[in-house]
């Protein structure tokens, strides 16, 4: 059997995970890996994207996984290069993005044994990344590369997704060994990829609760957006004639001009939270921007029951008490619910509250338009820029925003 370097083994392990793009700024510790990528990249359809700064690489990977739904890989070199990734990795952590951060270190005997003696760029990457990732691992043996890569992807994509960090010393990448001593398996053989449905009896119970409720508020979060559950949420809302609200991270999950949708920070959304007699929470933990799912923004959980859908049992009832948990993928579970509800009741006309809330939504929009009506104002309001973007770009455009108060403006426009 032919020998293979650790660098090529890493490349082929990433290829097995269907990685096409690697966002990276590398150094000499990656030479063997880069040689393999140059030699095999076209054959494997794998490409290196080099930004101007490591933070940009991490943000790029975060954006890639948000848009595609697939895990993304980012690489950086020892010391400052690895440290520069952290701002992007922290964002990926906050947004539950499955980003696999790979860093290198110099040869083991230099990085480990000479760190206290002035070894060049030899900080402990594991301690550096520990607060920002779901899992932190180091490869100490050449033949462990496929196993560790598989595990990194497994953790990044399981339960609530999130970033992970994998550290590979230079000497491990440079080592050679027999390929059959480090088998590479496709993800279909090593973890569950199918979107998991909820238990049928729980689905039936949830469907009965939805049908018996007078006015339902379906509230969609980041998990619903990432699962691509928008079509199912809209279909169920239209069938029940109920209200839909969403977290900021789920903007665009259904068209924002739909008469049954009330955007974040809109007074109509707050009223839907308060007046509903049943909350269906889809892929949300009820975080800070929705006041933790608690009164006065929401109804009293003792009187306003909640059904919560989430892939991760640890998120159930985290901030708001739950009457019925549905554990599974948001899209799969919503499809189950839609089928069960349709079997119990014909489609209903929009609830009377929909028109009432629509008036508040229209008034809110009028106030926003009035606030930026003076196009000659100096200094210009940030909302003016956002409204111009809304008017200019197509509805399916993706607009990237900076942090700070720009984000607060974006919640309104």
From CA 312, how far away is CA 327, in angstroms rounded? 7
Q: Are 395 and 255 spatial neighbours (Cβ–Cβ below 8 Å)?
A: yes
Q: Is residue 294 left, alpha or beta, with left meaning phi > 0 and alpha meaning psi from -120 to 50?
A: beta
Q: What is the pLDDT of residue 122?
A: 66
Q: Which domains does the chain have, with CATH numbers?
A: 3-189 (3.40.50.970), 200-355 (3.40.50.1220), 372-410 (no CATH)
Global pTM reads 0.90
Checking DSSP bridges between strand 135-138 and strand 164-169, what pairing results, if any?
Answer: parallel
Give the Cα-Cα-Cα angle 99, 105, 110 (nearest 5 degrees).
165
Q: Are 246 and 228 spatial neighbours (Cβ–Cβ below 8 Å)?
A: no
Q: Are 401 and 95 spatial neighbours (Cβ–Cβ below 8 Å)?
A: no
Which tens digit of pLDDT belongs to each residue from 41-68? 999 999 999 999 999 999 999 999 999 9
From CA 242, how far away is CA 354, in angstroms rounded? 7
- Provide the β-strand partners of residue 85: none
pLDDT at 161 over 90: yes
pLDDT at 403 over 80: no
Q: Give the other-Cβ count within 10 Å of 96's Cβ.
A: 22
Which tens digit of pLDDT belongs to each residue from 68-114? 999 999 999 988 899 999 999 999 999 999 999 999 987 665 655 55
- The mean of the pLDDT values for the chain is 92
Query: How distant, in Å, are the alpha carbons of 27, 29, 81 from that of 24?
Result: 10, 13, 10
Q: What is the pLDDT of residue 341?
A: 98
pLDDT at 119 over 70: no
In this predicted model, which residue has the larger pLDDT, 18 or 376? 18
Residue 284 — pLDDT band, cuts 50, 70, 90? very high
Which tens digit of pLDDT belongs to each residue from 325-372? 999 999 999 999 999 999 999 999 999 999 999 999 999 989 988 988
From CA 240, how far away is CA 228, in angstroms rounded? 20
Q: What is the pLDDT of residue 235?
A: 98
As a whole-number percent, the residues of the chain with pLDDT over 70 amount to: 96
Q: What is the pLDDT of residue 238?
A: 98
């Amino acid at each position: 059997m032919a020998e293979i370097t650790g660098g090529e083994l890493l490349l082929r392990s990433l290829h097995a995970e269907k990685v096409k793009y690697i966002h990276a700024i590398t150094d000499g510790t990656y030479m063997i890996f880069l040689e393999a990528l140059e030699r095999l990249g076209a054959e494997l359809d794998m490409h290196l994207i080099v930004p101007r700064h490591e933070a940009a690489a991490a943000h790029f990977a975060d954006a890639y996984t948000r848009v595609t739904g697939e895990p993304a890989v980012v690489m950086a070199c020892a010391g400052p290069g690895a440290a520069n990734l952290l701002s992007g990795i922290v964002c990926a952590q906050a947004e539950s993005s499955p980003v696999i951060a790979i860093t290198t270190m110099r040869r083991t005997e230099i990085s480990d044994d000479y760190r206290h003696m002035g070894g060049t760029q030899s900080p402990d990457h594991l301690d550096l990344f520990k607060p920002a990732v779901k899992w932190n691992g180091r490869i100490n043996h050449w033949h462990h590369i496929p196993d560790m890569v598989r595990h990194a992807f497994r953790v990044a994509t399981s339960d609530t997704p999130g970033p992970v960090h994998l550290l590979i010393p230079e000497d491990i990448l440079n080592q050679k060994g027999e390929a059959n001593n480090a088998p590479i398996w496709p993800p279909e053989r090593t973890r569950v990829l199918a979107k998991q449905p909820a238990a049928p009896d729980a689905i039936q119970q949830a469907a009965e609760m939805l049908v018996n409720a007078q006015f339902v508020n379906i509230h969609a979060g980041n998990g619903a957006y990432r699962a691509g559950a928008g079509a199912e949420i809209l279909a169920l809302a239209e069938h029940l004639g109920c209200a839909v609200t969403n977290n900021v991270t789920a903007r665009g999950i259904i068209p924002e001009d739909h008469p049954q949708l009330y955007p974040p920070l809109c007074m109509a959304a707050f009223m839907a939270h308060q007046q509903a007699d049943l909350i269906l929470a889809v892929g949300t933990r009820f975080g800070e921007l929705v006041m933790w799912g608690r009164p006065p923004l929401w109804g009293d959980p003792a009187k306003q029951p909640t059904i919560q859908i989430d892939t991760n049992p640890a998120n159930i009832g985290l901030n708001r008490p739950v009457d019925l948990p549905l554990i599974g993928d948001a899209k799969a579970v919503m499809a189950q619910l839609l089928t069960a509800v349709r079997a119990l009741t014909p489609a209903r006309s929009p609830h009377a509250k929909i028109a009432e809330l629509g008036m508040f939504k229209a008034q809110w929009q009028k106030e926003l338009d009035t606030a930026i009506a003076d196009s000659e104002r100096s200094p210009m309001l940030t909302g003016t820029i956002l409204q111009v973007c809304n008017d200019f770009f197509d509805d399916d455009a993706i607009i990237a925003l900076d942090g700070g108060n720009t984000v607060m403006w974006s919640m309104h426009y």
